[in-house]
Amino acid sequence: MKKYFQNKRNRRGFREFLYILPFLVLVAIFSYYPLYGWVYAFFDYKPPFPLSMDQFAGLKWFKSMVDNPVKLMQILKVLRNTFAMSGLSLLFSWFPMIFAVFLNEIKCVPFKKFVQTVTTLPNFISWVLVYSIAYCLLNSTGVVNSILMSLGIIESPQLFLQSADHVWFKMWVWLTWKNAGWSAIMYIAAITGIDGELTEAARVDGASRMQIIRHITIPSILPTYFVLVMLSLANFLSNGMEQYFVFENAFNKESIQVLDLYVYNLAMGNGGYSLSTAISILKSVVSVLLLCGTNGISKLVRGEGFI
């Protein structure tokens, strides 16, 4: 060891390590140390008191998910919601791609820039703001109700946010409103990378615009699409909770609770810390498996993974 430090280069390397040590400690505390909290899933944890060994519960919480029919029904319902929302996003994942492809066809540059700018904007506002915008547009005196009523489509104001109908679809619409423009940027970047001579040659050969799109543009951006689909498959169980948390209310609770939100509600609602941790452990395990699986598929198909 002493010899190690006699080398000037090694000494410098160790000093550099000391420079980054505080930040490594931050990472250890905020990313690795919480993993220790997974033990709560194996205890009967009552929040304010420290853990003691006589609260050890083994796999009780994991078993209770399957054994208790009420809980099982609820978890199945939550899974159904999670699958429905992620499934809808996956089903329409081609939308940003098509959006980018046709946006690229617009010849008027200022208009193109304008559309791109304004459709990207919603990505940068928070879900709370999206909700408050939704509230302003859809409340009983909001623009949607006033227009529908003046057209005579509805007789009295509808409370769109407080209804249990089409919740999955509505959530998908808001998600798309927020994200589509931003996702399209990825494809626009990919389209810019297409060799201009290729399209030029096709045009000279008499290809129509639709033919160019079908045979040149789309095939060249399919790899990007593939990677993004794989990534969204890897995140199938993690919809995040913010969107669903802000839109949640007593009326739509049954069909809006996704896994992340359920974990939160469980923990905050009646202090079910242990069960909630047990569920999030299972979720993490499945997510890691999904990530490895999709990465494997990507390696098979493209010869390169994304991790």
Residue list 233-292, contact with another protein (CB under 8 A): 241-242, 245-246, 263-264, 267, 273, 276-277, 280-281, 283-284, 288, 291
Nearer to another protein, 172 or 245 (CB): 245
- Binder among 76, 159, 208, 219 for another protein (CB under 8 A): 208
Site for another protein in 49-78 (CB under 8 A): none
Count interface residues toward another protein (CB under 8 A).
88
94 binds another protein (CB under 8 A): no
For another protein, which stretch binds (CB under 8 A), given 73-81, 83-91, 120-128, 250-258? 120-128
13 binds another protein (CB under 8 A): yes
**271 closest CA partner among 25, 28, 44:** 44
Task: Supply the minimum distance, in Å, between the C-beta of residue 202 and another protein.
Answer: 10
CB 105 within 8 A of CB 209: yes
Nearer to another protein, 36 or 69 (CB): 36
Task: Supply the minimum distance, in Å, between the C-beta of residue 205 and another protein.
Answer: 10
CB 188 within 8 A of CB 97: no
17 binds another protein (CB under 8 A): yes
Burial class (CB in 10 A: 0-12, 13-18, 19+), 161: middle
For another protein, which stretch binds (CB under 8 A), given 58-66, 67-75, 77-85, 205-213? 205-213
Nearer to another protein, 34 or 152 (CB): 34
220 binds another protein (CB under 8 A): no
Phi-psi group of 66: left, alpha or beta (phi > 0 → left; psi -120 to 50 → alpha; rest → beta):
alpha
Exposure on the CB side of residue 33, measured as CA atoms within 13 A: 7
- Binder among 56, 91, 94, 114 for another protein (CB under 8 A): 114
Distance of CA 302 to the CA centre of its chain: 24
Task: Supply the minimum distance, in Å, between the C-beta of residue 173 and another protein.
Answer: 10
- Binder among 2, 6, 34, 54 for another protein (CB under 8 A): 34
Radius of gyration of the chain (CA): 26
For another protein, which stretch binds (CB under 8 A), given 9-17, 54-62, 71-79, 214-222? 9-17
- Binder among 122, 237, 252, 294 for another protein (CB under 8 A): 122
Task: Supply the minimum distance, in Å, between the C-beta of residue 107 and another protein.
Answer: 8
84 binds another protein (CB under 8 A): no
- Binder among 85, 167, 175, 181 for another protein (CB under 8 A): 181
Site for another protein in 126-155 (CB under 8 A): 126-129, 131-133, 135-137, 139, 141-143, 145-147
Task: Supply the minimum distance, in Å, between the C-beta of residue 185 and another protein.
Answer: 6
